[in-house]
Chains A and B, each alone.
Chain A
Amino acid sequence: MPADLDVGEDLPYQERAWRVQRIGWLLLILTLVAAMLGAFGDGPLARATVASDDGSLSARVQRLDRHGSPSSIGLRIRPEPGADTVEVWIDRGFVEKQVFETIHPEPATVTASRDRLTYEFKVEPDTPEVRISFETVPDGLGMSTGELGVVDGASVRFRQFVFP
């Protein structure tokens, strides 16, 4: 420090602070790259498709999601031959951590039971595949597991982490 200037410099601290700053910049860049990849939701890392063993049900879910930000679950179901309805159930624990905005197509009925909600959709008989999408907004925080399936058919489990 200059002898004739009372400025309160602290060079050892300053050097350390610069080093920490450089590390900070690196972390900042890494965080942003991770964000581009979807490590904080909304990107390729965040999406996942889970399918049942027999391939009759597959669900595109968000493994990493954000509280209060629009999300969705997309289902592809191979209905039973000749059936004119498809019944999908979602476990209640998962449903309670979401706000369901819209469901496409509209379910014909919704039945609540102790541990699940069952949605019944009308389908044309012998349709090879139906697609159903649930537009949701995550309302919980942290890790949760969800399970959904076709009544008397295949089911899938998935995990979801919701960022604040």
Chain B
Amino acid sequence: MGSVVRGLAVYGFLLLLFRVTGKRSLAEITTFDAVLLLIISEAAQQALIDGDNSMTNSFLVIATLLAADVVLSVLSLRYRRMGRLINDVPLVLVEHGRPLQDRMRKVRVEESDVLERARELQGLRSLEEVDYAILERSGTITIIPRAQP
């Protein structure tokens, strides 16, 4: 029983925390973000295992986490509101080369982040060449280049 309860508690807590801190929290994956992620998983492990090092416990915890994931994805498919709540919604950050400043500030994205992605994904040189930049639900930025005349 403890394994399932612990699994659900940790799943719920992490989901809540990551939704509150925003989708960009650890999505950038700089070196430091990667290190942070490792430390977080290490800290979460303590709560999941709680001194019970048996294989049964570890299997039950893994099964619980995956089951919670499946249940939530089924629910978010069925109920649109639930899906929004769990997965967030995408947001346009740049429209026809014009950065939407207050949106970008709210999601803590800088112009340089957008430009970096524009270079990386499309080989674009400036914001002028960006038609749309979109902050996706996963926290990554995608770029649609302007059609060449």
Contact = CB atoms under 8 A, between A and B. Distances in A.
Interface residues of B, number: 19
A14 B89 contact: yes
A104 B115 CA distance: 64
A10 B92 contact: no
Given A24-B20, A68-B50, A2 B89 contact: no
**Which residue, B17, B21, B89, B90, has most C-beta atoms of chain A within 10 A?**
B89
B78 interface: no
B90 A2 contact: no
Band of interface residues on A? 10 to 19
Contact of A14 (B51, B91, B144): B91
Given A21-B20, A68-B51, A5 B90 contact: no
A100 B8 CA distance: 30
A36 interface: no
A28 B90 CA distance: 24
Nearest to A27: B20
B129 interface: no
B95 A17 contact: no
A25 B20 CA distance: 7
Given A9-B92, A14-B91, A68-B51, A2 B84 contact: no
30 contacts: A1-B92, A2-B92, A2-B95, A2-B132, A5-B92, A5-B132, A5-B144, A7-B92, A7-B132, A7-B134, A8-B89, A8-B90, A9-B92, A10-B84, A10-B89, A13-B84, A17-B88, A17-B89, A18-B106, A20-B20, A21-B19, A21-B20, A21-B21, A24-B21, A27-B20, A28-B17, A28-B20, A28-B21, A68-B50, A68-B51
Given A2-B132, A68-B50, A9 B22 contact: no
Interface in B10-67: 17, 19-22, 50-51
A162 to B, nearest CB: 14
